[in-house]
Amino acid sequence: MQEIQASRILDAKGLPCPLPILKVKREITAIEVGEILAVWTTDPGSLNDFPAWARATGHEIVKADVGSAPYRFWLRRTH
């Protein structure tokens, strides 16, 4: 399996809800369209927040590793 190369990594471990998703909103604008933001979080709310945010904004979850904390998401900026 090929490893996903992230342009930027956001370490949101230990941050309570809603801080991880608020930081994602800011950090996604710091990368170019088509690039990937990797996010590490321990907030269980992120399991619902990140997919809902991606659907609402049109960005793509390329991969999610959510078996146990820290949860890891790879998000592609689409616009």
State both tokens at 24: 């994602």
Instruction: Please say if 9 is a catalytic residue.
Output: no
| Closest of 78, 16, 10 to residue 46, by C-alpha | 16
* CA 67/CA 30 separation, integer angstroms: 28
Say which of 15, 17, 19, 69 is annotated catalytic.
17
* CA 78/CA 1 separation, integer angstroms: 23
Which DSSP category does 7 fall into? S
Active site residues: 17
